[in-house]
Structure 1
Amino acid sequence: MPRHHETRELPYSAEQMFALVTDIARYPEFLPWVVALRVRSDNEIEAVADMIVGFKGLRESFSCRVEKRRPSHVAVHYIDGPMRHLDNEWHFTPLDGGGCRVDFMVDFSFRNRLFETLAGQMFDKALRRMIAAFEERAAALYGVAA
């Protein structure tokens, strides 16, 4: 069961990072392995979406509910798909002098042994690439900090 927690201090506001993370309809534009995404519903406190992820010829779809507490917290709750479970949380804390601390946690496991094996082998590399994609997206949207 891959599990990871990471903290980063970024030059963007908590509101900016919250907006980036909750703009799930745009994930296929910048997140690796997100092949397609359909937003079923979206409002200020919650979104529900179906996502197709692909890696080396394998494709799986899953559904999740995204809980939003502007501008400090985002939690992803798994609904259905190839996973046994998926928990994903983002916390955004303003820093003195600007920017924010981003706490990111993900914990998941697959039902499919092949996906579980691939996830275990590639987890750290994939997670670093995903986190970098969010940081690059922030820089593209909000500018590179001096």
Structure 2
Amino acid sequence: MPHQIDKTALVMHSAERMFHLVNDIARYPEFLPWCAGAEIHERQPEQVTASLEIAKGGVRHTLTTRNQLLMPEAIEMNLVDGPFRNLTGRWHFKSLDENACKVILTLEFEFSGSLSRMTFGPVFSQAANTMVDAFCRRADELYRKEGA
């Protein structure tokens, strides 16, 4: 059964800054509590293939996506490997002015089987539902320190 998660936030940071923050996958373990590791497999100007190790309460899975970089408006994610039948997602950064934007995350996913859904479903759902807030907090920490 397919699931969809839609999250939106207004932030006092530029779309470009938010784009770069979300695209800095290697630093996810520094501020996403459920992210136990991140690995970049391939980086090109308009595409990144990366894996995240998602862990919580003894449940641990690795998820690999290929991300299309549509700088600075969007990042589109597609499943390469992981405990899903399918997974697609899109970060959209809608500029409101020079120092503000609307961040929109849409994820559509279906687990590969009932065991994956039962063991990993709650962990992934919590991670997905808190992701936008975590990136907004991270942006505030990083960019307010710079005086921006």
One fold, TM greater than 0.5?
yes
**Match for residue 34 of structure 2?**
33
* Structure 1 gaps, min length 5: none
Q: Give the drift of 1:2.
A: 2.5
Q: State how 1:100-115 maps to structure 2 within 5 Å.
A: 100-115=101-116
Of all paired residues, the percent bearing the same amino acid is 34
**Match for residue 141 of structure 1?**
142
TM-score w.r.t. the length of structure 2 is 0.86
**Match for residue 49 of structure 2?**
48
**Match for residue 81 of structure 2?**
80
- Checking the alignment, whether the CA contact within 8 Å between 1:2 and 1:123 is kept in structure 2 is no
In the alignment of these two chains, the number of paired residues is: 146
Quick one: distance in 2 between partners of 1:115 and 1:71?
34
Quick one: distance in 2 between partners of 1:41 and 1:65?
9
Distance 1:53 1:121, change over 3 A: closer
- Partner secondary structure for residue 95 of structure 1: strand
- Partner secondary structure for residue 116 of structure 1: helix
Bigger mean CA deviation after superposition, 117-126 or 76-85 = 117-126
- Checking the alignment, whether the CA contact within 8 Å between 2:14 and 2:98 is kept in structure 1 is no
Structure 1 segments, 4+ long, off by >6 Å, are: none
* Structure 2 gaps, min length 5: none
TM-score w.r.t. the length of structure 1 is 0.87
